[in-house]
Amino acid sequence: MSFSHKTRVTLCVIVLLVAGCVEPESDISTEVEHRGMSSACEGNTSFSIGAGIYDITGPAAEVGMMGYAQLAQKTAGIHQRLRSRAFVLASPCNNKRVVVVDADLAFVTQGVKQQVIERLQAKYGGLYSDENVLLSATHTHSGPGGYSHYAMYNLTTFGFIPQNFEAIVAGITASIVRAHANLRPGTLAIAEGELLDTSINRSPEAYLANPAAERARYAYDTDKKMTLLRMQDQRGVPVGMINWFAVHGTSMGNSHRFISGDNKGYASYLFEKAKGTDALAANTFVAAFAQTNAGDSTPNIYGGTDGGGADDFESTMISGQKQATKAMELFDQTTALLTGGINYRHAYIKMDSAMVAPQWTDGQERPTCTAAIGVSMLAGAEDGPGFGSEGFTCADFSRLWKQATCAVTATSCQTEKPIVLTMGAMKPSPWTPEVLPIQVITIGNLGLVAVPFEVTTMAGRRLRDTVLSELAPIGVQRVIIAAIANAYTGYLATREEYAVQAYEGASTHFGPWQLALVEQESARLAAALREGLPVDPGEPPRDLRNDQTTLQTGVVFDDKLLWTSFGGIKTDANASYTRGQTARVVFVGAHPKNNLHTQGTFLEVQRKVAGSWVAIKRDWDWDTKYMWERFNCVPTLACSHVTVEWQIPSDTPAGTYRIRHYGDWKSGWDGKIRPYTGTSREFTVK
């Protein structure tokens, strides 16, 4: 008689104390742990919860922004600071924990993940690793770039930007350290609801290529479901929340040059303001608006780049306010507690040379391809238009050039995609990563599947169903896609959407069966988690930290006109304002790269209270703007002007106010950087 490996391990566990078994020790211990702990965690509602928030704002001037790939879009100020919001969740019933981070970034890069883990392990040993740390991004397109170790994502920043990379890695790490320090017993509750009129599908033709029977299962061509995880301690005090809703971070357009968290950043700002969050405090309430399968979901609900506002700022407010309002409703009505323990599986997959089993494809074993982008990727999406038009396929190529075939530019592996760049074939290393992480996490009866792609609506639905079918037998009731997580390599579209070659399909790097491979590997991880079995972790990706170049120079020195001083006033505030007006002050300034003012501010709006000045607004408040511009003073061309604006809210108390600017200038004589301040006249608000 022959037994399967699983059956033999189970029999060994049963008779282990009596007769012993000859099985690999790791397999036995894993199975024992799984069987014992699942019993210990059955019905468990007690978790340990910690939240932390930290500044990850990079250089606010002269760094290319990440998202739209526009060379002219360089940072020129701050509208909102960018934050990393971290949560440590632990289950005492099985002594496991996970970290979930939501960072105000276009995406997380492999280099960022590698160095965050490295720093956590230097501090905590093996407590945190690739396996149980999930780093995701809000997908704002209004942050500084240059923080990848792969060339394609540093093209528009003219190379790697060490200052920005360090701000991101240090800030994410600090937010996790804070969350770790704040761990305390509590509970997790979950709620779901629909949020309408906040997103539309920007590639409806591609969506319609999916099977009619599949589309008939859903009322909408974007996911309208919002899921919220509420965290509170055992006294009932709210600790934080994570909210997942699928909408792109493109309310701010591709000509926008101020650092901003976009609609999700504004939603977090509103929610945290309502909860009294102090973003500088070591222990405070944290509200994360995380990203999910938003690959083809745009906030510009009136088409193109139109989000319904008079400008990008108002469109961002509209989208963010809708998300914050719905989230607050869900937060206040959460009653369903998560039950169970915490578990996870993680593996690295070589995406460019894998085989996909017939059950995940069209019935035949299919390969993935060397990473490449198609011609339609250059066209951009509707909310970030580029050159040409979407939907250009090999069939179109043949119609236009009858004497040629798509083989001139494509490969048989990439099928319908006319290739414009094969990043995966570049030497000495690919221009985009090809070894990528997939991660499956269970938090009680909630499942998360983290993938390093922008996932289209239908691709996300298929992946959720795949993972849920594997985890449902152990009580998991819902699965959420944590998109653009742990690394980044383009899009994830369905086979049918890929064939259309809209922007999303053309940006699906590894060919038509990429989603099938992700489903196959996610199912493998989920099944291993369910059965308490280990997984092959795969070969980790290369570390390219020492192979980076940049064409950007740092600040050589700051200059000013002889009769002025740093912090001096060029244009002062008016003597008085009424609510709704904008106070504006122009200072003689210096380059913000000299000091990022991490966990600080470049500006304060101050109110006189009992004879003392009290800061009421800073550079992360929605109604302020910090703006930098180069002032080409002869002969050095190294002068700067800093403009601070405060759009005075309608509920501002009458009183006396002033505006202060904090900066740092670099000497051309000794190279030292010195702080300066500038202060406007006093003015009244009536």
Summarised one tens digit per residue, pLDDT across range 581-608 is 999 999 999 999 999 999 999 999 999 9
- Could you identify the residue written with the tokens 């005090």? 237
Residue with the two structure tokens 């405070």: 284
What is the reported pLDDT for 534? Answer: 98
Q: What is the dihedral sign for C-alpha 650, 653, 655, 657?
A: negative
Residue 31 has pLDDT above 60, yes or no: no
Mean pLDDT of 112-139: 98
Rounded CA-CA distance 341/529 in Å is 12
Query: How confident is the model at residue 385, as a pLDDT?
Result: 84
**Higher model confidence: residue 520 or residue 386?**
520
pLDDT tens digits along 395-446: 887 676 655 567 667 788 999 999 999 999 999 999 999 999 999 999 999 9
pLDDT at 34: 47
Answer yes or no: is pLDDT of 523 > 80. yes
CA distance 343 to 573: 57
- pLDDT of residue 32 exceeding 50, the answer is no
Mean pLDDT of 202-207: 97
- For the stretch 541-573, pLDDT in tens is 999 999 998 888 889 999 999 999 999 999 999
Angle between helices 25-40 and 5-15 (to 10 degrees): 70
Average pLDDT, the chain: 93
Identify the structural domains of the chain with CATH numbers, from first to last.
5-32 (no CATH), 47-342+436-492+519-531 (no CATH), 569-685 (2.60.40.2300)
d(CA 217, CA 4): 38
What are the respective helix, strand and coil percentages of the chain, to the nearest 5?
Answer: 25, 30, 45
On the question of pLDDT at 17 being above 60, the answer is no
pLDDT at 401 (0 to 100): 65
Q: Please compute the mean of the pLDDT values over residues 129-140 and round it to a whole number.
A: 98
Distance (Å, whole) CA 316 – CA 377: 25
pLDDT band for position 21 (cuts 50, 70, 90): very low
Residue 111 has pLDDT above 70, yes or no: yes
Separation of alpha carbons 116 and 170, rounded Å:
8
- For the chain, helix (H) and strand (E) counts, in that order, are 13, 36
pLDDT above 70: residue 229: yes
3-class secondary-structure state, position 326:
helix
Measure CA 252 to chain center.
16
Q: Which residues, including other chains, have CB under 8 Å from residue 107's CB and lie 6 or more apart?
A: 66, 137, 139, 452, 484, 488
Q: What is the structure's pLDDT at 519?
A: 98
Which residues fall within 8 angstroms of residue 375, CB to CB, at 6 or more apart?
388, 392, 409, 418, 419, 420, 501, 506
| pLDDT at residue number 398 | 66
